[in-house]
């Protein structure tokens, strides 16, 4: 007999595949239960509502996505400007995959725009803030002044590329944004010697 944790993970995996591919509004709880191979009653045992399931879907994407971004940055050769550009280049490659549907966090937040207090919207905001905080830490270690502001500017370019590439179905928007991000980092002032980086 499967453990409750295994069943829950299977439901989240099924929800993730369906919600990302089709959007949360188009996917019913019945469809998730069927894909997970469980009854609707079992699904509701683990998740009290569809809203809770949507939140779990985004929460499950949070750390893997952040680790992937950090991995692309760490693996890239060169200075911080080239490492930042490598994130955009990797996303451009991902966006050329036929199953790519953009940023799940942005898409879900857009679907829930009328519900700012929805738990999934809060998870999306937390994810974006965590990315900015991680990037600010990297920029600080690299010796840049105002690393938080620099990280925000890069995140604006990143989310703009997510949106434009999805609207136009053209991954080259990531490449264009990556060039802008690289130039932005290369031109950003360094912290004064002996001073704080922030």
- Residue written as tokens 């929460």? 59
Split into its structural domains, the chain has a count of 2
First to last CA, the chain: 53
43 and 62 housed in the same domain: no
Query: CATH code at 153?
Result: 1.10.357.10
Each residue's pLDDT tens digit, 70-92: 999 999 999 999 999 999 999 99
Instruction: Tell whether 195 is covered by a domain.
Output: no
Q: State whether 41 and 63 are in the same domain.
A: no
- Domain extent, residue 101, equals 58-187
pLDDT tens-digit map of 89-132: 999 999 999 999 999 999 999 999 999 999 999 999 999 999 99
Same domain, 89 and 122: yes
């Amino acid at each position: 007999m499967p453990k409750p944790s295994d069943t829950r993970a299977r439901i989240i995996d099924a929800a993730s595949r369906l919600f990302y591919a089709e959007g949360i509004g188009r996917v019913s709880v019945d469809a998730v239960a069927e894909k997970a191979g469980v009854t609707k009653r079992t699904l509701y045992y683990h998740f009290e509502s569809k809203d809770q399931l949507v939140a779990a879907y985004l929460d499950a994407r949070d750390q893997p996505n952040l680790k992937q971004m950090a991995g692309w940055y760490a693996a890239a050769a060169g200075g911080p400007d080239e490492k930042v550009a490598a994130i955009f280049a990797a996303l451009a490659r991902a966006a050329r995959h036929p199953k790519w549907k953009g940023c799940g966090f942005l898409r879900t937040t857009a679907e829930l725009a009328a519900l700012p207090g929805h738990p999934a919207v809060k998870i999306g905001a937390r994810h974006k803030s965590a990315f900015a905080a991680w990037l600010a830490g990297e920029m600080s270690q690299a010796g840049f002044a105002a690393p938080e502001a620099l990280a925000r500017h890069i995140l604006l370019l990143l989310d703009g590329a997510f949106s434009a590439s999805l609207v136009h179905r053209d991954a080259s928007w990531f490449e264009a944004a990556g060039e802008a991000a690289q130039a932005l980092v290369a031109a950003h002032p360094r912290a004064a010697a002996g001073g704080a980086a922030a």
